[in-house]
Structure 1
Amino acid sequence: MRIKILAFIGLTALAGCGDTFGEQSLFGAGAGAGAAVLLDGNPVVGGVLGAAANVAFCKQFPERC
């Protein structure tokens, strides 16, 4: 369980990366899909949600991306 939590934190940290819309989408999708797999969820849904969340975050807080 501890490894899953650490992996989830690591994947979540990756979601903040990306200079372009495509990079933000790709990194967010990867982090979301990875987190879904670690948490026994649906990786497709996790990828879509991760991509949307990362793009929204980077639009709201561009200085953090």
Structure 2
Amino acid sequence: MKIVLALVLTGLLAASCTQTEKGASIGAASGAVIGGLATGNVRGAAVGAAIGGVAGAVLGRVSEQPGQCYYRDRYGRRYIDSCPRGY
């Protein structure tokens, strides 16, 4: 019951966030649950939350800009533009 309540609260809190924030919060919650169940202690839950949060943030960041690619010009400056067709 506690796990279900925690997941519902996380879902409600993430409703107005960006994709990066949503990914980080869902990843941290999932990682904490999995880490806690796998190790049976708080330390495992904390490590799982940290790893899940980072992984979720990375995946959320990627999904914020569909069809966009990072490029570098000849001076080394980064810019974002549309990806080539078929990419």
TM-score w.r.t. the length of structure 2 is: 0.43
Alignment of 1:1-65 (within 5 A): 20=18, 21-40=20-39, 42-60=44-62, 62=63
Residues 34 and 48 in structure 2, CA contact (< 8 A), matched pair in contact too:
yes
Residues 27 and 53 in structure 2, CA contact (< 8 A), matched pair in contact too:
yes
Q: Which residue of 1 aligns with 2:81?
A: none
Work out which of the two has the higher radius of gyration on C-alpha atoms and give 1 or 2: 2
Residue identity opposite 1:56 in structure 2: V
The CA distance in 2 between the partners of 1:37 and 1:28, in whole Å, is 14
Residues 24 and 60 in structure 2, CA contact (< 8 A), matched pair in contact too:
no
Instruction: Name structure 2 gaps, 5 residues minimum.
Output: 1-13, 67-87
Question: Relative contact order, CA 8 A, sep 6+: which one is greater?
Answer: 1
Residue identity opposite 2:52 in structure 1: G
Deviations 1:15-61 (A, max 9, x none): xxx6513322211100000110121161111101101001111223x
Give structure 1 regions of 4+ aligned residues with deviation exceeding 4 angstroms.
none
TM-score w.r.t. the length of structure 1 is: 0.55
Residue identity opposite 2:60 in structure 1: C
Identity %: 24
